[in-house]
Structure 1
Amino acid sequence: MEPALPVFSQAEVSKHGSLEAGVWVTFRGGVYDIGEFVAMHPGGTRSCWRREGPWSPSGRLCELEMDPEDQARQRAVEPSDPYSGDPQRHPVLRVNSAKPFNAEPPPSLLGDSYITPSAIFFKRNHLPVPRVDPASYRLRVEGLPRPLSLSLADLKGRFPKHTVTATLQCAGNRRSEMNAVKQVKGLNWGIAAIGNATWSGALLRDVLREGGWGPEAAAVAGGGARHVQFEGLDADASGTTYGASIPLNKALSEEGDVLLAYQMNGEDLPADHGYPLRVVVPGTVGARNVKWLGKVIVSREESASHWQQNDYKGFSPGTDWDTVDFKSAPAIQELPVQSAITQPADGAVLERDADGEVTVRGYAWSGGGREVVRVDVSLDGGKTWQVARLREGDGEGEEQGEAPPPPPPPGRAWAWKLWEVGAPLPPGEQQVEIVCKAVDNSYNMQPDSVAPIWNLRGVLSNAWHRVRVTVRED
């Protein structure tokens, strides 16, 4: 049995030096600083790490967590600060805003694990994290022949548990590249406002059926209903709560896999990810995956929320804040095909391996359940290309000669694919521009540059991803 991870108080953590200076890796859903291990190990670390696990050979590796007493002090609420009750976050995250908290992991960590550990899964909060008592929690479901009020025990006991592996991506992922063309309004996300997790809970369609929704109800009591609205329990000082909606046909579809999720990666939802209940809408922009869910409403109308009506919409590059009409554009639901390079980092200095190659890794995903079928990689700025190897899962079985998992059902490719390629380079030190682009099974492809897709909110950024590195002789 694997030994328990040691737990450090905040004071003890300081004895170990700067967290930022560590070497962080992911392993079996955890995030670890292996700086000491790397310094001690005489050879490469990647294969040894996969084979031996995080507790050997030194036995001193740990996941940095807060002591229970420190956690209690962290939860002490300052009445004047609505964010004082927010949870503790992993120190490796790059913070884009502190209040509300929004942060993303280092790209190298993101691309290291098919399942993104909850601790480093990007955090996108619009309002303070609410404190919800699971014992008194109730989900209200309205707009049905029989309105429902469901406890957590009801959701877990009355409905079959369904698990989906699905990628969530913020609409503003890679906004920083649009800012480089022309300044936009929004958080300056890099390439890591995306993550892949397993989500478990009750199917939304099962809950709607429990309330009497069916063909007859749709034709009579709910005639004209086209949307399902979601309201969160997170609120600002005025009482305004976060809200969004999705098309009703997505919620009712047997292939839609829309969840009222109470677990993430096999454990209760973390506070930052919606504890005790959130909506997970596979294939749909993160903004519609409402956290801390308090109410579900079957309705003729979309959500009236600001984030549905006056945000998260795409516009022409020629539209500015003086001319924008939010009513003229539909709310973003499915996202376009996407890929990015997680290793090497932009500006890195690389050495060729024994075969004279440089290894490039990244992720690829497409919205709406469309499967990524190819990732092309170029090491000369897009003049010539080679096809990367796609990984359906962690790739450990493939390394041992096992057959890869079967492809997802058509239209239900909810999870990303990690990819890698070993790229040969001519001798001599040189500057190299590495580029990647993905293709999905509808043959949608990423555009080659940012300028034609630039928009005033910096959303839907999916141009070819480029990193520039220096390659030198060993």
Structure 2
Amino acid sequence: MATQASRRLATQIVRQSTRRLLPSPAICRPCSLRARSLHTSASRPALPDSKPQSPTRVPNAPKTARVAPVAWIVGGGLAASLLAVSQLHENGVPEEEASPSVDDRDPSVPRFRLADVRKHDASSPEPWVTFEDKVYNITEWVAAHPGGDVILRAAGASIEPYWDIFTIHKAAHVREILQQYQIGFIDIVDLGADGRPAVDSIEDPFVDDPVRDPRLITHTAKPRNAEPPNDQLDRSFHTPNELFYIRHHMWVPVVEEAKADEYALTVELPDGETKRYTLGELRARFPTHKVTAVLQCSGNRRNDMTRHAGKTNGLQWGVGAISNAEWEGVRLSDVLADAGLKVAPVSSTQTGAAETSSNDDEPYPKSLHVQFTGLEAYGASIPLPKALDPTGDVLLAFGMNGQTLPRDHGFPLRAVVPGNVAARSVKWLNKIVISDEESPSQWQRRDYKSFGPNEGPNPDWDRAPSIQEMPVTSAITGVWVGDCVRRGGVPWLGSPSTSPSTASSRTIDMAAVPQKIGFTPKNLTSATSPETPCPTSTPAEPIALQGYAYSGGGRAITRVDVSLDGGATWDQAELVREDSPSHGNKSWAWQRWRYTGTLPILSLPTTTISPVSAALPDCEGSSYLGVIKKHCTTLIVKATDESYNTQPESHKGIYNVRGNLATAWHRVKICPRCTGQNGSAASNTKGLTWSTGETYGCGFRKEAEEVREGMKTAAASSSSI
């Protein structure tokens, strides 16, 4: 047995030898390291030179890692080794020093202890966060990050718990942005067996969010992003407040309704002078105006672009990231004039964006921007000329559709910028700054831009202008075929013999609600008698369509073209003349349209489909094997505005990775299907039904027949194993 002296000797030798073998971890000097990126560029200084650390040994790992050296030194075999290791702990050697491991991460990158990271919390002038095993200096990112206030909550610790809640930001393109700010790795001493530090639980910032209408189709719950189903989207000229689409980047701020009049807005002028207005003062001091205007997300119909062109980053909106409302508030131009803003008069000779007048106190409007900031740290801006245009109708709104502004839509105060992308209509508005540059926020400088189809996920963001006025777009939101048209099932055609409830039950519902793979209800069969076999082709079936069209910049929609045969022939839809007044100086509202026609004759599949025992449900709960040949037609809509702008034919030509401005022709494929004698042997009904694509959001992800074929292929493969 080893003597006490030999134990001490072994301990000392091990300590000395391991100190020589193991380099000391890089320890940060709190608050002394500036924000730097591992990816050096002209805009960011490179990391300071540091001595490469040996990738072979760094602190922290299984305690058995030093058994072999101890055994060799002591010469007493396993027993002596275990005794020596035990003695190391008894003599106060830190566990991490007694537990080496292999650190195969880049040895040129500094290591930081978590204790030092914690010193860079939200109160630090240089906040840091960790993600996985990396350390980031987010000093420069806080002001521009989508959710700067959120990321500050994580300062000094891990950002992962917040991204677990804010799942919308837990995406590859967001991590790529964060990667630019990496300054080092977490010291391996502070990493667990999974290679990551322990993560603390956090308070859910969404606990006070309002309750939403269950009819909304939710894309993300935290933050809530949701659109109305197609059958509700444009049912009325004004979208009901509870069904107006929701686009949030963070939680909904809490403002007490009883204290709403005390809510303050700060206006800062170019010279730094500020003026403060309470909501009560805005109501009392300035004339109130109403404006009927669409708000539309730049990602509306992004799912269409994904399906028809390629993968896109962002929420996969259908056709419902757009809504129309009557807004009430005070004009931004009136408030800016009262705050003391003075600019040079606009003239035709002003061609440059950076021109200034002879009076330094009166810059040209074209050289300035209006920066909006909301309570939740969201920021965006518009050019000052848009704000000052007497026909621009930019409001500081506190009312919506005759009611107090709902919490989800900016209570108690928001900006409404008609004709522009909704990203500029900042909710929960609490600060306005007149500046010689755009808002520095991520949403202004990067997120809401568009690039060429070839430019990939990392374009030169500074080269492209921020999206402001929206291009022309349109969409089909409702389709009725066959008997539901003949029998008065189309709500806006009506029938004396058909009650509203019956008509509604016959509507082909293309909304993303729980349904069997996109097929229309059973009572949508054609007029073919149940005793009559399916024909070889479809009869001249009547069809009715409805939808919306819209163009930004206040440009009115003058024509909506509809095709029932994939674009081979065209006809014009009826533009709905609204009973409700449309307030404002330009055409800021959407244009609803309707169309009735006759479908082209389509051949029908005559091959008998045999039922099988495998669970492959069709619209009637039966099961089949085999492939149904497609005999479909594609419905198309495209719109033209008063400037003769029209929609591009294909999303491929306007593809961009962010999926912004997906405004190509909207296409909906519909397919006839036989039931009965020449169709499903499992059905006693002989006739014709129609199917639409499987719906996702309010768009079409895959055609129903493709889904069916995929199910059959998968079943056939599994049965052959």
Task: Provide the TM-score with structure 1 as the length reference.
Answer: 0.75
| Residue aligning to 1:455 | 656
| Residue aligning to 2:316 | 188
| Residue aligning to 2:379 | 243
Answer yes or no: is the 8 Å Cα contact 2:369–2:381 preserved in 1.
yes
Picking from 382, 391, 394, the partner of 2:576 is 391
Q: How far is the alpha carbon of 1:432 from its aligned partner?
A: 2.5
Letter in 1 for 2:598: P
Structure 1 residue 320 corresponds to structure 2 residue 456: yes
Q: How far is the alpha carbon of 1:213 from its aligned partner?
A: 2.2
Alpha-carbon RMSD across the aligned residues, in angstroms, is 2.5
Q: How far is the alpha carbon of 1:281 from its aligned partner?
A: 0.2
Structure 1 residue 141 corresponds to structure 2 residue 267: yes
Task: Give the Cα–Cα distance (whole angstroms) in 2 for the partners of residues 288 and 161 of structure 1.
Answer: 21
| Residue aligning to 1:369 | 554
Picking from 449, 455, 475, the partner of 1:340 is 475
Higher relative contact order (CA 8 A, sep 6+): 1
Q: How far is the alpha carbon of 1:427 from its aligned partner?
A: 5.8
> Matched residue pairs, number?
379
Cα separation, partners in 2 of 1:406 and 1:306, compared to 1, 3 Å: closer
Percent identity at matched positions?
48
Q: Deviations over 1:217-261 (max 9, x none)?
A: 985425255110000001xxxxxx110000100000100000000
Q: How far is the alpha carbon of 1:216 from its aligned partner?
A: 6.0
Letter in 2 for 1:376: D
Task: Give the Cα–Cα distance (whole angstroms) in 2 for the partners of residues 457 and 215 of structure 1.
Answer: 36
Cα separation, partners in 2 of 1:282 and 1:332, compared to 1, 3 Å: same
Q: Deviations over 1:137-161 (max 9, x none)?
A: 1000111676321111111110000
Secondary structure at the aligned position of 2:456 is classed as coil
Structure with the bigger percentage of strand? 1
Q: How far is the alpha carbon of 1:351 from its aligned partner?
A: 5.6
Task: Give the Cα–Cα distance (whole angstroms) in 2 for the partners of residues 353 and 195 of structure 1.
Answer: 37
Task: Give the Cα–Cα distance (whole angstroms) in 2 for the partners of residues 470 and 109 of structure 1.
Answer: 24
Task: Give the Cα–Cα distance (whole angstroms) in 2 for the partners of residues 407 and 419 of structure 1.
Answer: 20
Structure with the bigger percentage of helix? 2
| Residue aligning to 1:156 | 283
Picking from 448, 458, 465, the partner of 1:330 is 465
Cα separation, partners in 2 of 1:328 and 1:352, compared to 1, 3 Å: farther
Cα separation, partners in 2 of 1:159 and 1:186, compared to 1, 3 Å: same
Q: Deviations over 1:297-342 (max 9, x none)?
A: 1111110111101210001111112x41111100000111000000
Task: Give the Cα–Cα distance (whole angstroms) in 2 for the partners of residues 406 and 304 of structure 1.
Answer: 34
1:51-450 aligned at under 5 Å gives the runs 80-133=203-256, 134-143=260-269, 147-180=274-307, 181-215=309-343, 219-223=359-363, 225-234=367-376, 241-321=377-457, 323-344=458-479, 347=518, 349=520, 356-393=541-578, 412-426=586-600, 431-450=632-651
Letter in 2 for 1:160: P
Cα separation, partners in 2 of 1:353 and 1:285, compared to 1, 3 Å: farther
Cα separation, partners in 2 of 1:149 and 1:80, compared to 1, 3 Å: same
Task: Give the Cα–Cα distance (whole angstroms) in 1 for the partners of residues 638 and 655 of structure 2.
Answer: 18
Cα separation, partners in 2 of 1:204 and 1:408, compared to 1, 3 Å: closer
Task: Give the Cα–Cα distance (whole angstroms) in 1 for the partners of residues 424 and 583 of structure 2.
Answer: 26
Cα separation, partners in 2 of 1:421 and 1:96, compared to 1, 3 Å: same
Q: How far is the alpha carbon of 1:353 from its aligned partner?
A: 9.1
Letter in 2 for 1:432: T
Structure 1 runs of 4+ off > 6 angstroms? 352-355, 405-408
Task: Give the Cα–Cα distance (whole angstroms) in 2 for the partners of residues 351 and 359 of structure 1.
Answer: 15
Letter in 1 for 2:587: A
Answer yes or no: is the 8 Å Cα contact 1:200–1:264 preserved in 2.
yes
Answer yes or no: is the 8 Å Cα contact 1:144–1:211 preserved in 2.
no
Structure 1: gaps of 5 or more residues: 1-77, 235-240, 396-404
Q: Deviations over 1:65-91 (max 9, x none)?
A: xxxxxxxxxxxxx97000111100000
Task: Give the Cα–Cα distance (whole angstroms) in 2 for the partners of residues 249 and 408 of structure 1.
Answer: 17
Cα separation, partners in 2 of 1:337 and 1:104, compared to 1, 3 Å: same
Cα separation, partners in 2 of 1:116 and 1:352, compared to 1, 3 Å: farther
Task: Give the Cα–Cα distance (whole angstroms) in 2 for the partners of residues 440 and 369 of structure 1.
Answer: 10
Q: How far is the alpha carbon of 1:107 from its aligned partner?
A: 1.3
Answer yes or no: is the 8 Å Cα contact 1:227–1:245 preserved in 2.
yes
Which range is displaced more, 209-218 or 271-280?
209-218
In our comparison, the structure showing a higher alpha carbon Rg is 2
Q: Deviations over 1:93-141 (max 9, x none)?
A: 1111111110001012112111000101100001111112324310001
Letter in 1 for 2:546: R
Secondary structure at the aligned position of 2:447 is classed as coil
Which range is displaced more, 218-227 or 328-337?
218-227
Answer yes or no: is the 8 Å Cα contact 1:95–1:101 preserved in 2.
yes
Q: How far is the alpha carbon of 1:379 from its aligned partner?
A: 0.4
Task: Provide the TM-score with structure 2 as the length reference.
Answer: 0.50
Task: Give the Cα–Cα distance (whole angstroms) in 1 for the partners of residues 410 and 416 of structure 2.
Answer: 10
Letter in 2 for 1:233: L
Task: Give the Cα–Cα distance (whole angstroms) in 2 for the partners of residues 302 and 245 of structure 1.
Answer: 6
Q: How far is the alpha carbon of 1:356 from its aligned partner?
A: 4.7
